[in-house]
Structure 1
Amino acid sequence: MSEDRRLDVLRAIVEDYVATKEPVGSRALVERHSLGVSPATIRNDMAALEEGGYIAQPHTSAGRVPTDKGYRLFVDQLSTVKPLSSPERRAIGTFLETAQDLDDVVDRAVRLIAQLTQQVAVVQYPSLRRSALRHVELVPVGLRHLLVVLITDTGRVEQRTLELGTDLDESVVARLRTRLNVSAAGRRLSELPVALGELTDGFAPADQVLVNAVVAVVEETLAQESEERVVLAGTANLARVGSTDVRSIGPVLEALEEQVVLLRLFSEMAEDHAAVAVRIGRETQHDGLVETSFVTTGYGDEGGGSVARIGSIGPLRMDYPGTMSAVRAVARYLTRILAQ
């Protein structure tokens, strides 16, 4: 049979199954799609697809449903990710651009993905391991307390208060602030030890106590806050009628609670060459997620890389083009906002 026609038949089966939640028969394909061939030819094509493992018959006298292999071929044949409509893009931009800080941005993004896809949304916090320092602020608070504020290029803000044994000299604080930002701003976490180690040069011995104390609190803060974490929203969508096999909800929820599972998937999928990566069923390599698919993309670096990932987890029978489009669109807005 024609390879192109086989793909057309598979595409029609996937689209109908996603839309109707019912196994698809040859008669339905003839009625709903202009495939340009006879019902007998379509039945032959379906038989060949079934033999190849791309579709399966759930029970006798039923139509056919896509298998993991069939979904994979369908996704791989998507030449482009369909764009969102102009109203949808405007709504995303307005919703995210009014966020107050990084926590608010992440919270809004994960809720937005869940709403757009009606599935489980997952957003990875920008990691300090992949972020760079944008600015360090030193604010005297009283005579012997110094507020150290770290701001990363992804919008994370970390604060620590330093208690000193002697009164602060504001001129020394101002010089240290300048030196810190010249030496450390724009550097990744892995590059900071060398830059911070050279800060004491040029300061009087009496002032080096302050310098060392500030360097220590900066290093400790970055080390403590470098732990990877993810935020979820939309887990209730799993319970919607027809969204997922009821028997699979428990294992899926257990898998979602294990952040290490999600972080592993994010890490592995970051290595995919596709702009939007998709893992289907057993490709997730986790027993609890065999009835789901995971769609992700990176965000946070306008240069083409990423500092974290965003994604959506839903049933195998998901709207792949729509989910991929929503995830990519929100990721692009996140990247733009974090770069401001």
Structure 2
Amino acid sequence: MSEERRLEVLRAIVEDYVLTREPVGSRVLTERHGLGVSPATIRNDMAALEDAGYIAQPHTSAGRVPTDKGYRMFVDRLSGVKPLSAPERRAIETFLSEGVDLDDVITRAGRLLAQLTGQVAVVQYPSLRRSGLRHLELVPVGESRLLVVIITDTGRVEQRTLEVAVVPDEATLTEVRTRLNAAAAGKRLAELSTGLTDVAHGFGADDAPIVTAVAHLVAQTLAEESEERIVLAGTANLARVGMRFEHALRPVLEALEEQVVLLGLLTEMAADSGVSVRIGRETRLEGLAETSVVTTGYGSDGDTVALLGSIGPTRMDYPGTIAAVRAVARYLSRALGT
């Protein structure tokens, strides 16, 4: 029973500290929370939590604050998250459904998440490697050049130019386009290359090399990682008085500017199923040592193609942040699937 009560005390300390941003003492816990025990018992529980490294005493204050270990225990023991209100859900769905293209939808998702959490939102562009092919277009741009337009099932559009001996006539080009689209519809990179290359067997010696070249170009494009990027929104939220990082804000801002480093962190977190939470030094990034990062995946047809998340101080509203991240990811997935 004492172990369960100490977890309740820890939960109360985390919730009060997030709400008030002030160290929490035993008297406050007794007054605000119906823990059903005396102040002396609470003080003993707090001492045990401090010895275990879950809370700490800042400076000479009589109160205690959660440590990274304490936040981790709190997050791991969350039994649920507070749902967004019906108006919030409708606002998310409406706002994202009004996006005109992939760039607009991604930007809108970041702005929404930053507004809901009051923190920094990070949205990763859909990965080409994890995307499927929705449509392939072949456009002649001269006697020996083809513009290959690749549209993924996440709405991403890539254009590549292909040099050929002679561009086929319109009828042949239409046939090539039709067969390639039929062979590629919805397929991911792992199964795409063989399917597209096999299409060449149905053409004569004059046209088969062009089909093979297009197939290789598409597979090569979807295999690229060089253009992976992220969008940040709400960076100005970090300067709000309520954030109040223990040390300087500059290291956090500098870390956020390093998109390659952030992409690396997101790649690591993508290995986790569902919502992933990295607290403080769990990010293994010095500049984010005083922050927590909450992420989850989004995509179409149930497949994760990228991540989105929220970055704020370790003293964040974890249930509220998790709920917002989940909601925006869900509606972003819907927007991409339409």
TM-score for both structures, normalised by structure 1: 0.92
Report what 2:291 is aligned to. 292
User: Do the aligned partners of 2:126 and 2:305 also contact (CA within 8 Å) in 1?
Assistant: yes
Report what 1:72 is aligned to. 72
Q: Which moved more, 1:158-167 or 1:246-255?
A: 158-167
SS in 1 for 2:158: strand
- 1:167-186 matches, cutoff 5 A: 168-186=168-186
Amino acid aligned to 2:293: F
1:100 maps to 2:88 = no
Alpha-carbon distance change, 61 to 233 in structure 1, aligned in 2, over 3 angstroms: closer
Alignment RMSD (CA, Å): 2.1
Structure-2 separation of matches of 1:246 and 1:27: 25
Report what 2:28 is aligned to. 28
Question: What is the CA distance between 1:234 and its match in structure 2?
Answer: 1.3
User: Do the aligned partners of 1:127 and 1:226 also contact (CA within 8 Å) in 2?
Assistant: no
Alpha-carbon distance change, 123 to 159 in structure 1, aligned in 2, over 3 angstroms: same
Structure-1 separation of matches of 2:238 and 2:58: 22
Structure-2 separation of matches of 1:69 and 1:247: 19
Alpha-carbon distance change, 216 to 337 in structure 1, aligned in 2, over 3 angstroms: same
- Uncovered stretches (5+) of structure 1, i.e. residues with no partner: none
Report what 2:253 is aligned to. 253
Alpha-carbon distance change, 339 to 70 in structure 1, aligned in 2, over 3 angstroms: same
User: Do the aligned partners of 2:153 and 2:300 also contact (CA within 8 Å) in 1?
Assistant: no
Question: What is the CA distance between 1:72 and its match in structure 2?
Answer: 0.6
Question: What is the CA distance between 1:316 and its match in structure 2?
Answer: 0.7
Report what 1:14 is aligned to. 14
Report what 2:318 is aligned to. 320
Report what 1:109 is aligned to. 109
Structure-2 separation of matches of 1:98 and 1:64: 46
SS in 1 for 2:62: coil
Structure-2 separation of matches of 1:184 and 1:117: 40
Structure-2 separation of matches of 1:282 and 1:135: 43
Structure-2 separation of matches of 1:115 and 1:232: 12
Question: What is the CA distance between 1:69 and its match in structure 2?
Answer: 0.8
SS in 1 for 2:130: coil
Structure-2 separation of matches of 1:8 and 1:61: 22
TM-score for both structures, normalised by structure 2: 0.92
| Superimposed CA distance per residue, residues 204-254 of structure 1 (whole angstroms, 9 cap, x where no aligned partner) | 333345434534543454355664221111111111113042634221122
Q: Which runs of 4+ in 1 moved over 6 A?
A: none
Report what 1:89 is aligned to. 89
Question: What is the CA distance between 1:106 and its match in structure 2?
Answer: 0.7
Q: Which moved more, 1:320-329 or 1:20-29?
A: 20-29
Question: What is the CA distance between 1:178 and its match in structure 2?
Answer: 1.1
- Uncovered stretches (5+) of structure 2, i.e. residues with no partner: none
Report what 1:53 is aligned to. 53
User: Do the aligned partners of 2:129 and 2:223 also contact (CA within 8 Å) in 1?
Assistant: no
Structure-1 separation of matches of 2:90 and 2:167: 52
Question: What is the CA distance between 1:339 and its match in structure 2?
Answer: 1.7
Count how many residue pairs are aligned between Structure 1 and Structure 2: 338
| Superimposed CA distance per residue, residues 13-36 of structure 1 (whole angstroms, 9 cap, x where no aligned partner) | 111111111101111112221222
| Superimposed CA distance per residue, residues 288-316 of structure 1 (whole angstroms, 9 cap, x where no aligned partner) | 111010100111044x4411111111001
Amino acid aligned to 1:307: V
